[in-house]
Every structure is written in structure tokens, then in C-alpha cells.
Amino acid sequence: MLNNSKPVRPELRERVLKIVQETGFQPNAIARSLVSKETRIIGVMVPDISNNFYSNLIYGIDSVISEYDYSMFLAISDEVVDKELKYLRLFKEKQIDGVIIASIHFLEGNIQTLQEIQVPLVVTGHDLPGYQIPTVNVNNVQASYDATAYLISQGHTKIACISGPLWDPPCGLDRMGGYRKAMRAHDLPIHEGFVVEGEFTAKSGYEAMRRICEEKIRPTAVFVATDLMAVGVLNYLYDHGIRVPEDISVMGFDNLELASLSRPMLTTVHNDPFMYGKAAAEQLLRQIRNEPVERMSTVPHHLVIRQTVSALLK
């Protein structure tokens, strides 16, 4: 009756409602879930919540699921494979209604667990070619291609690249791949000392830039696979009196809040994690409702031209 499942005589309704008030009755969602077989909880797994990218992703997810009275169970994997598996299992045990995974180690064991888990699932930040798992992602190769091509269009030819870690294909392989593809397409040589693998921190960008600067020749532009690293690059350059963009141009990737907060303001690829989160949540909700979903949704990207790239005058 409390769920309006049946029509009820007004007098009775009133009496019940009064008692509910008086005793401070609160329904027990656990008991309800046991019989209804739904918890209205979505499990979200991220590698690192102190990274603004992932916290905005979470924000995007929350903004849509909370509309539909779902709430969020949050798992932080710390990029540790064991934790990833542990949480996948935990989601299952807790009878969660759906799962969104943001970045997971691309390993056989993991992917298999993902396939076997009998729960609606969306993976963001990875393409999973050949698997029947819905993903939402930017076209990292194309976006990196566009970023690099822009640098080239500005007259740069000696272009360095700091990629993400190779264990994360989207930020590692794909973004570096886009860079290589653009260089090749424009018949530009790649000096291998100019392409270095970074991690997901500002510090690693700082270090990577140092290594590039230790080369005999200096690039006139750098494409950096994440904004956080790009800020590290900017700081290395600032600390060593190398002017941006006069001496060297810097192109980031992600368009974090940080990018517009830095001075000079970072030119970068817009890759809105909030939108990711929204798209992923929408796909997941469709799955839960048994509506058709796209196997791979690609979220659009575009360049944000700010202050760190200048045209090269010959």
C-alpha cells in the first residue's frame, strides 16, 4: 500500500500514514532488494580519484543516474590489477544493477571476467575491439592526429611527443599512434629521442621534458598526451627559462580545468570527462532497461586554441 500498488480506502491510508509518522518507520531497502532483485545502485570503478579527469567522469555519471533514482557505489582500483578483480567480484556480490569501468588493465584475465560478469556493463576510456562490451570513448588516434596536424599547420616540423603509459592503450598507444600517423602523413621524420613514454602525473611530464631537452637538437613543439603531464612540461620550461610559446609550443590533451588555469593558458584537445560520464551512464541505463545500445559510442573532440602554441615563422 505504501508503494501505491493497490487502491486503498482513504480512511485506512490516513491511519497507516499516521503510524508511519509516529513510529518513524523507514523502509529497509535491503529487504526490498532481496525480493525485487534490483538495488538501484550502479558500481563505478576508477583508477585514481585524485585525478580531476576521473572525478569529473564520476560527476557526469552521477548527474544522470541520480535523475533516475540510482545511486553510486564507488571503487578505487589504484591501477592495481588485483583490486580491479576484487571489485568486479564485489559488484557482483552486492547485486549491483550495472557497472561502469573507467580504465582497466587490458589483460586477458580482466577482459574475461568482464565478459562473464552477468551485469549490464559499460567501459569508458578503452576501445575493446572484438569484444561484445559496450564502450564510450573519444577517437584517441584521430584526436591526436588532429592535434599534431595543427602543430604542423603552424609550421612546426621538429615535434616531440610525450605519450601516456603503454599499459593504458588509449592514452599510450593510441595517442602516440595518432602523433606518428600525422607525422608520417606529412612526410615528417620522427626523431626517436623525441618520443617518450610518460605516466599519469605532472611530475612525469616534467621528467619527460627534461629528457627531451637533453637531446642534441631541440623540438619547436611538443604534443603531450595528457594535460596533467602538459602542466609538468610547462613548469619544466618555466623553471629553465625556456619561453612558451616563443621558444617552444606545447599542445595538451584533455582540457582539464587546469588547462585554463595555467599561465600561459594551455592549448589542448577538448575531451570532456563529464560528457563521457553522462554518455556512459546513459548507455548503461539503456542496457538495464533492455533497450538497444551502441557497441562503441564515440564522443566528439575538438581543439581548444589558447596560448601555448605559436606559428613558426621561417
Instruction: Record the cell numbers describing residue 235, joined without a space.
Output: 613548469
Cell 532488494 sits at which residue? 33
Strand segments, DSSP code E, in 13-67 are 41-46
Determine if 32 is a binding residue for DNA (CB under 7 A): yes
Question: Which lies closer to DNA via its Cβ, residue 23 or residue 50?
Answer: 23
Determine if 26 is a binding residue for its own copies (CB under 8 A): yes
Q: How many CA atoms lie within 13 A of 110 on its CB side?
A: 18
Q: How many CA atoms lie within 13 A of 58 on its CB side?
A: 19
- Please state, in angstroms and rounded to a whole number, the distance separating the CA atoms of residues 121 and 221: 40
- Residue 67 binding result from DNA, its own copies, none, given CB thresholds of 5 to 8 Å by partner type: none
Determine if 34 is a binding residue for DNA (CB under 7 A): yes
**Footprint of its own copies on residues 215-244 (CB under 8 A)?**
231-232, 234-235, 238-239
Query: Applying CB under 7 A, which of residues 17, 18, 27, 78 lies at the interface with DNA?
Result: 27
Binding residues for its own copies, how many (CB under 8 A)? 44
- Residue 153 binding result from its own copies, DNA, none, given CB thresholds of 5 to 8 Å by partner type: none
Sequence letter at residue 29: A
Candidate ranges 28-36, 41-49, 184-192, 194-202; the one touching DNA (CB under 7 A): 28-36
Determine if 24 is a binding residue for DNA (CB under 7 A): no
Phi, psi dihedrals of residue 6, rounded to the nearest 5°: -140, 155
Candidate ranges 84-92, 122-130, 171-179, 291-299; the one touching its own copies (CB under 8 A): 84-92
Give least dist CB 269 to its own copies, A.
19
Determine if 28 is a binding residue for DNA (CB under 7 A): yes
Q: Contact 101/117 with Cβ under 8 angstroms?
A: no
**Footprint of its own copies on residues 90-149 (CB under 8 A)?**
90, 92-95
- Residue 58 binding result from DNA, its own copies, none, given CB thresholds of 5 to 8 Å by partner type: its own copies
x/- map, 261-280, its own copies, by CB under 8 A = xxx----------x------
> Comparing C-alpha atoms, which of 28, 29, 56 is closest to residue 40?
29
Return the biggest CA–CA distance within the chain. Answer: 89
- Residues at the contact surface with DNA, assessed by CB under 7 A: 2-3, 5-9, 11-12, 26-28, 31-32, 34-36
- Residues at the contact surface with its own copies, assessed by CB under 8 A: 26-31, 33-34, 39, 41, 49-50, 52, 55-56, 58-59, 62, 66, 71-76, 89-90, 92-95, 202, 231-232, 234-235, 238-239, 257-258, 261-263, 274
